[in-house]
Amino acid sequence: MLIMRKRQRGDDDDDDTYDSGYDEGIPPERSNRHKRMRRHIVEDDEDMDDITTSTTSTNPLMSLPPELRNTIWDLVLPEKKDRLSIFSFTRGTYSKKYHGPRDYHFLEPAVLSVCKAIRNELLPIIYLGCPLVVGTRSFELDKPCEWLNHLSQQLGGRWPDFTMYIMAPEWEDMETWFSLVKFGYEYDDGSGADSIQCSRRGRLMVAFKELFAVGVQAKEDGASVDQLQAYFDDWLSQWGEDWVNEEG
């Protein structure tokens, strides 16, 4: 049990510096020590600029000529063909992933964590100089597009190549694409309905309309997850072979 005793005021105590020893429940020794530390900081405040300057480190790499730095970046970064930036969105949120060689998943390249100066210089090289893949688990594509636009402005460049895809969406999310379905029904370049089947863009619209119809029908029938998969597999079997032949 801590017993606090008020100190007796001595004849040689100065009224201005006298401390009763009570500082919001802190024992006298601890209270006085804190006060001495605060006074010390105030007294040495004029030397803080020198302290800050002496403790701030500068990266020697950034003092090299740009041509030499670019050569170093080529050595420490993966080859361009192995750089693949992955951004995964889930209903408005995203997490950054980095695909290295052999599809190993990493966070951003370690060199980006060395210092802020290196990170600022390498971000445009990594994100604007390699394929970019954006995946979303919903049909809320406005958020990824808004984020991509903001990032390109921040990095001062345009995306040379990127792919956006939907990963395992929920069937209810398809309702947000009603406008695209409507566009698919109305799509016509003036050459008649046959031209829709002849163009890749038109066939994509037709394929999407059919997939949407499959989802709506399955939902109305109260289909289970397995039945939904069967619906999808049946639809894919009608289109998959054509897509494979075309890509091959």
Strand partners, 163: 133
**Using CA atoms, how far apart are residues 59 and 116, in angstroms rounded to an integer?**
10
pLDDT for the residue 152: 76
The pLDDT tens digits along the chain (248 residues) read 445 555 555 555 554 444 444 444 555 555 454 444 444 343 444 444 443 333 335 678 788 888 888 888 888 776 665 565 655 555 555 555 544 444 444 456 777 777 888 888 888 877 777 667 776 666 566 667 777 777 777 777 777 666 766 665 555 555 555 555 555 555 444 444 555 455 555 566 566 666 666 666 666 666 665 666 666 666 666 655 554 444 44
In the 3-class helix/strand/coil scheme, how is 191-219 assigned residue by residue?
A: CCHHHHHHCHHHHHHHHHHHHHHHHHHHH
Contact 68, 81 (CB under 8 A): no
At 53 the three-state DSSP class reads helix
**Using CA atoms, how far apart are residues 144 and 158, in angstroms rounded to an integer?**
15
Q: How many CB atoms lie within 10 A of CB 206?
A: 16
Q: What pTM was estimated for this model as a whole?
A: 0.40
Residue 106 token pair: 């990493």
pLDDT for the residue 38: 44
Residue 57 token pair: 């480190």
Amino acid letter, residue 125 = I
Measured in whole angstroms, how far is the alpha carbon of residue 81 from the centre of its chain?
A: 22
**Using CA atoms, how far apart are residues 38 and 125, in angstroms rounded to an integer?**
47
Contact 13, 28 (CB under 8 A): no
| Contacts of residue 112, Cβ cutoff 8 Å, sequence gap at least 6 | 118, 119, 122, 123, 126
pLDDT for the residue 45: 44
Residues of the chain with CATH 3.30.420: 61-169
The CATH class for the domain spanning 61-169 reads: alpha beta
The CA-atom distances, in angstroms, between 104 and each of 13, 81, 95, 209 are 72, 14, 16, 36
pLDDT for the residue 75: 82
Residue range 122-176, pLDDT digits in tens: 888 777 776 677 766 665 666 677 777 777 777 777 776 667 666 655 555 555 5
Contact 74, 117 (CB under 8 A): no
Strand partners, 118: none
Pairing of strands 93-99, 84-90: antiparallel
**Using CA atoms, how far apart are residues 205 and 200, in angstroms rounded to an integer?**
9
pLDDT for the residue 196: 47
Residue 49 token pair: 């600029």
Contact 21, 3 (CB under 8 A): no
